[in-house]
Structure 1
Amino acid sequence: MTSLTEKKQYNSFDNEKIKCKELNGQLKELTIEEVINLCGFGKFQWRLSLFAGLAWIADSMEIMILAILGPILICEWNISNFKVALVTTCVFLGFLIGSPVIGICADKFGRKSALLLSASIAFYYGSLTSVAPLFIWLLILRFIVGIGVSGTPQAITYYSEFLPSNSRGRSIMLIQFFFAFGAVFEVVLGFLIIPSAGWRWWIVTSCLPLGIFILITGFLPESPRYDLASGNVIAAKKTLDYIAEVNGIDMPLYKLKSKQTEGRGDVKELFSKQHRISSLLLFCIWFGCGFLYYGISLLATELVKEGQTCISGAKLKTLCECKPLKTEDYLDLMLTTAAELPGLLMMIIVIDKIGRKFSILASFTTSAAALYLLLICMSRYPMVTLLFIARAFISAGFQVVYVYTPEYYPTNCRAVGLGTCSAFARLGALITPFVAQVLLQSSHYLAFGLYATVALIIAGCAIILPVETKGRALENNN
């Protein structure tokens, strides 16, 4: 039997052999993309999927809080629909400010640090919202929560940098199920907690996924792509070896190709000659996605409360009076929110077959058709069906955009690229409450016509994007 001393001698001898081979240039040199592809999609990536999924749950729960809280505040604090829209706008203003800032932090100081910072802000100030004594305090606290939650899209940047190229699209789409689950879960929480314990306890309970997310973050490694881009080759290789070990892959002896990237987190890189056209088109697409997705979430609440699509200006006074959500309203909200699940499932099947650009085109063209049909005055059930279809395809298209963006931008500006694009989505979301909660009262034709037209504009921008990223290595910057 080999003694412990002999084992140490053998390990030492093996290490010396590796060093000698490296000095003699005999070790095979691999790019980080090649190493991650060799590691494959295994146990480590499944664990990471749960982590990224928690971020999505927190983000989607925040959106549904905004959709459900409005009718409650009208009843409890006797405020107008304009003030309800102002609460939503303050949250998205926080998103707008925080998204690029946290993106820059993620490129300069690491993905983990940025995620931990943003989640901590959202958790702390989200919990404080539950004790807000006045409307002005609610506005301030929700604005700061918006800054915190704006960092959750960086979980996609982090997650994508651990994925092999042949499964990246499907994998990112799969974790979008957590987004849909979070939205449905928030409606269920509201249904169970608000009638008995009130909205304040509901808000506290809604912060729990963020708390779990913060605890898990400390146990995860930094992105090896970020480490490599920042010149920390040893840390990058250590992480890659750990991934291979967890996945049960016997890696060949290799040397990691290292190239430190200058100018990390520089917004100007997004407007370089190489990226200018794509960045401008992506900004338009993200703006439209935010305007549509958050708009349909708010529209659903307003419409199920009324039970029909035609809301005339004569009903303005009624809409501003107390009209709490009934059990039927919660059930319809659950149904329209659950529409995201079949939309995502369909996109998972086709995204790697028809590509990212055509997936976005098909999604938003279909959603535009459903929204145009909602211009017709109709009763509750056909209305809920069309809302279901519109939300399914809007959500599916938005998630494909989330796949495309980190695939397009190179490592040195991936986080700031996603963060800046996310800021444009939040800008669209900042405007949309005044359409879904204010303009809708005056003219449902203008409101739905505007949403349907924006969907068509997104489809047009997607088809003229210069680059299709299907099967493209993350290291490819051309």
Structure 2
Amino acid sequence: MESSTWDVDVAIEKVGMGRGQWILFSLVALFLLADGVEVSYLSYVTRVLQVEWHLSAEQEARIISMVFWGEVLGAPVWGILADRVGRRPAFLWSALVISVAGFAAALCQSVLHLTLVRAAVGFGIAGQTAAFDIFAESLPSSHRGVLLMWTMFFPSLGSIYSTFVASLILEPCGWQAFTVACAVPTTLALLLSVWLLPESAHWLASQSRGEEAAQIVAVWARWNASPHEFASLTVPEELEDVDFASLARDGKLRRKFMLLSVVWLGFGAAFYGISFFVPHLFSEVTTDNTDATSVSKVTFDFGQILIARSSQIVGLVFGVLLIDRAGRKPVQIVGFLLAGVASFFLGFKSLGKTAIVMFTSLASASENAASTCTWVHTPELFPTQVRGLAHSLLNACARVGGAIAPYIVATPVPWSAFLIAGFSGAAGLAVCGLEETAGKSLDDYHDIDTDVDSDSDSNAELSE
């Protein structure tokens, strides 16, 4: 006879994969697409406005970096909202902010207005951790690593999407039309999520709302033709006293957080540095002197750029294949260090265009494989009660790295390439101090310093 009260991890394992998780996958994937679109969007628009608005290198860097500073400000807001109010509200409100600000950017007529609006977009994008965590918390451990990696294909597809749209409309229609097209994916995710997105059962159970959590998992059970029934869901007893302050007072959680801060800052600077570097490597400014006045124009080699952008997909394929077989740590360590070596050689343009394309592709693929694995690894290292805040704050570290990236790219070559390589290498070394989490349930292995005594494991009372 089944117990009426289940541990939430055990219940999700019993229900398995099905329609509910695939619906979440689709919604989260569309939302994560926005991040990739944003990175690529900025690299094109600022390059065009450099000519149209006569932007200085400092103004160009400021427009790009303000998006990331907006994300830094938004990260703790969405993290606290996700842990206190729920993953679903954080998801929906952040998507609304991105959509409104994204369309508003097309109306901007000055550097100041564009800078402020893009900062608002960044503020909203910081909520993507809530989207990622709600999906992670819905998955059985046997599927979590691979499926979370699959969602990370969508930032890369977002980058390819914006490159494809740019090749069609940026030069003939202008940057305003391009801006509108780049705001569409998040708006679509918002409209569908209002109708289809449930709250996280993990979060509800951690808030002592076990009956509501059970109702969500029971729906998945019916969809999956599972015979199991649930009256209420719980989290392990030793985690019931974990709260926001645990990130600071608990030594083991604090150590994880500090190491991950280095990882996220490092890959943020390296990943975005490579992304912003690509249009500079494969573009040139030409001057038309056929008329009485000379007109400057930026010309992009979209073929070479598309090769470099598409290499991110190759890196993700390797990540998907290796994340459970090799483990979270090896994928990150090898990926970050390999990206650092490849980035180093981007500082030597004398190697020729073919070599630069090769090293750019290798750097993009390796950095993407490693950083997306970090996205999977991070929520697995923290208990549900602080997962949203910890993940959001670490995401803010990556955005600080992203804010630094435009200034790195503005640094004369080869030092810009050397700095990117250094940040990526530091991320790889920091991963060495973390624990492996492959194959484990979200809340069954956290080493928490707690005064709660337990006579038996929280799952011992649960039976089929």
How far did residue 263 of structure 1 move?
7.0
1:90–1:116 distance in 2 versus 1, CA, 3 Å: same
Quick one: distance in 2 between partners of 1:47 and 1:228?
21
SS of the aligned residue for 1:206 comes to: helix
Q: 1:278 aligns with which of 256, 281, 289?
A: 256
Quick one: distance in 1 between partners of 2:373 and 2:192?
26
1:184–1:270 distance in 2 versus 1, CA, 3 Å: farther
SS of the aligned residue for 1:82 comes to: helix
How far did residue 153 of structure 1 move?
2.4
Describe the superposition over 1:214-240 as per-residue Cα deviations: whole angstroms up to 9, x where unpaired. 112222210001111111111100000
1:390–1:36 distance in 2 versus 1, CA, 3 Å: same
How far did residue 246 of structure 1 move?
1.6
The question of 1:431 aligning with 2:404 is answered yes
Give the structure with higher Rg (CA).
Answer: 1
Q: 2:202 aligns with which of 202, 211, 225?
A: 225
Describe the superposition over 1:45-86 as per-residue Cα deviations: whole angstroms up to 9, x where unpaired. 122111110011111101111111121101111111211111
Aligned pairs for 1:82-161 within 5 A = 82-161=58-137
Describe the superposition over 1:98-135 as per-residue Cα deviations: whole angstroms up to 9, x where unpaired. 01211111000000100111111111111111010111
TM-score, normalised by the number of residues in structure 1: 0.87
Describe the superposition over 1:229-260 as per-residue Cα deviations: whole angstroms up to 9, x where unpaired. 11111110000000111222222566534679
Quick one: distance in 1 between partners of 2:273 and 2:172?
29
Q: 2:31 aligns with which of 55, 74, 95?
A: 55
1:269–1:432 distance in 2 versus 1, CA, 3 Å: same
Is the 8 Å Cα contact of residues 59 and 179 (structure 1) preserved in structure 2? yes
Equivalent in the alignment of 1:356: 328
Aligned pairs for 1:17-36 within 5 A = 27=3, 29-36=5-12
How far did residue 267 of structure 1 move?
5.6
Equivalent in the alignment of 2:153: 177
Equivalent in the alignment of 2:288: none
Equivalent in the alignment of 2:40: 64
Deviates more, 1:265-274 or 1:211-220: 265-274
The question of 1:241 aligning with 2:218 is answered yes
How far did residue 276 of structure 1 move?
1.2
Is the 8 Å Cα contact of residues 90 and 139 (structure 1) preserved in structure 2? yes
Q: 1:45 aligns with which of 21, 35, 45?
A: 21
Quick one: distance in 1 between partners of 2:392 and 2:235?
26
Q: Give the residue type in structure 1 aligned to 2:364.
A: R
Equivalent in the alignment of 2:450: none
How far did residue 389 of structure 1 move?
0.6
Quick one: distance in 2 between partners of 1:254 and 1:168?
25
Equivalent in the alignment of 2:337: 365
SS of the aligned residue for 1:374 comes to: helix
Unmatched segments (≥5 aa) in structure 1: 1-20, 308-320
1:434–1:109 distance in 2 versus 1, CA, 3 Å: same
The question of 1:468 aligning with 2:436 is answered yes
Equivalent in the alignment of 2:452: none
Equivalent in the alignment of 1:343: 315
Equivalent in the alignment of 1:416: 389
SS of the aligned residue for 2:108 comes to: coil
Equivalent in the alignment of 1:395: 368
Quick one: distance in 1 between partners of 2:363 and 2:432?
20
Deviates more, 1:48-57 or 1:450-459: 450-459
Residues paired across the two proteins, number: 434
Unmatched segments (≥5 aa) in structure 2: 286-294, 448-464
Is the 8 Å Cα contact of residues 107 and 264 (structure 1) preserved in structure 2? no
Equivalent in the alignment of 1:266: 244
1:256–1:128 distance in 2 versus 1, CA, 3 Å: closer
Hey, which of these two has a bigger chunk of helix by percent? 1
Identity %: 26
Equivalent in the alignment of 1:17: none
Quick one: distance in 1 between partners of 2:245 and 2:179?
35
Is the 8 Å Cα contact of residues 96 and 427 (structure 1) preserved in structure 2? yes
1:53–1:180 distance in 2 versus 1, CA, 3 Å: same
Describe the superposition over 1:337-380 as per-residue Cα deviations: whole angstroms up to 9, x where unpaired. 11111101111111111211111001012112212233332221
Is the 8 Å Cα contact of residues 214 and 231 (structure 2) preserved in structure 1? no
Equivalent in the alignment of 1:383: 356
Is the 8 Å Cα contact of residues 71 and 325 (structure 1) preserved in structure 2? no
Quick one: distance in 1 between partners of 2:13 and 2:248?
27
RMSD of equivalent CA atoms: 1.9
Quick one: distance in 2 between partners of 1:226 and 1:475?
12
The question of 1:449 aligning with 2:414 is answered no
